[in-house]
Amino acid sequence: MLRCPRTRRGPGWAEVAEPPVGDRIVGIFGGTFDPPHIGHLVAAQDVVEALGLDELRLVVAARPPHKEPVVAGSADARLRMVRAAIEGDGRLTASRIELDRPGASYTVDTLRAIRSTAPDLDLRLVVGADQLAAFDSWKEPEEVARLARLTVMDREGQRVSSRSAGGLDVTYDTVAVTRIDVSSTLVRRRVAEGRSVRYLVPHAVRHIIEEEGLYAQRAPRTG
């Protein structure tokens, strides 16, 4: 059974143009995925089912502008882990569109690139409540909202306010997703401490981490 998303509008919402609506509904779910974990995957599944998406693209960021500049895992490793995590699920795809573009990974540039090759897609940009709260600090936020309809993941304990979009004039949907208290930071810390991440990441992701020694604490150089 599909859960219908709830639509909310920021103050003055009518001033912002609505994104085009096409026959094929494609979600855009960006992140560093450093590494991808079960929280990412369960949220992705909830969004796909709630919106009836034909496809959800997990877009691996090269240089996220709103995070610390240092990303622990290489771009290649993070992309391979995402591909391994979603293998066998035809609803989810991994995108390297931001990895192939130099500079910071701005969402507006990604959406423009997608629109330039597929103008008729019904695009849904999937973000968290924290990202919505900082939406006014994004590069060209009104243009982002014009290029894709915003979908905000509403996790238990992180409720989305009807006036959460930094006061900007945007329309957005909210989708209830399962809250799982796992983060990439937690996974990296456990690996660095020599602790198991079994059940926190898919087996295929754990295999890559272990085989390639990702996130392991390295002994300091001497001499």
Q: Is residue 182 part of a domain?
A: yes
Domain that holds residue 77: 6-212
* Residue among 42, 45, 105 at smallest CA distance from 75: 105
Name the average pLDDT for the chain. Answer: 86
Q: Is residue 219 part of a domain?
A: no
Q: Is residue 222 part of a domain?
A: no
CATH number, domain of 117, equals 3.40.50.620
**DSSP code, position 201:** B
Cα 3–97–6 angle (5° rounding)?
20
Helix (H) or strand (E) holding 45: helix 38-51
Q: Is residue 221 part of a domain?
A: no
Q: Alpha-carbon distance 209 to 189, whole Å?
A: 13
Residue 64 is predicted with a pLDDT of: 83
Q: Is residue 217 part of a domain?
A: no
Q: Is residue 1 part of a domain?
A: no
Q: What is the pTM of this model?
A: 0.85
pLDDT in tens, 105-143: 999 999 999 999 999 999 999 999 889 988 999 999 999
Tell me the mean pLDDT in the region 177-186.
95
pLDDT in tens, 21-72: 667 999 999 999 999 999 999 999 999 999 999 999 999 999 888 665 567 8
pLDDT in tens, 137-162: 999 999 999 999 999 999 875 565 55
pLDDT above 70 for 166:
no
Residue 219 is predicted with a pLDDT of: 44
pLDDT in tens, 72-106: 889 999 999 999 999 999 999 999 999 999 888 99
Give the count of domains, the chain: 1
Q: Is residue 223 part of a domain?
A: no
Q: Is residue 218 part of a domain?
A: no
Strands across the sheet containing 149-155: 6-9, 171-177, 149-155, 122-128, 25-31, 55-60, 92-95
**DSSP code, position 158:** B
Q: Alpha-carbon distance 209 to 1, whole Å?
A: 36
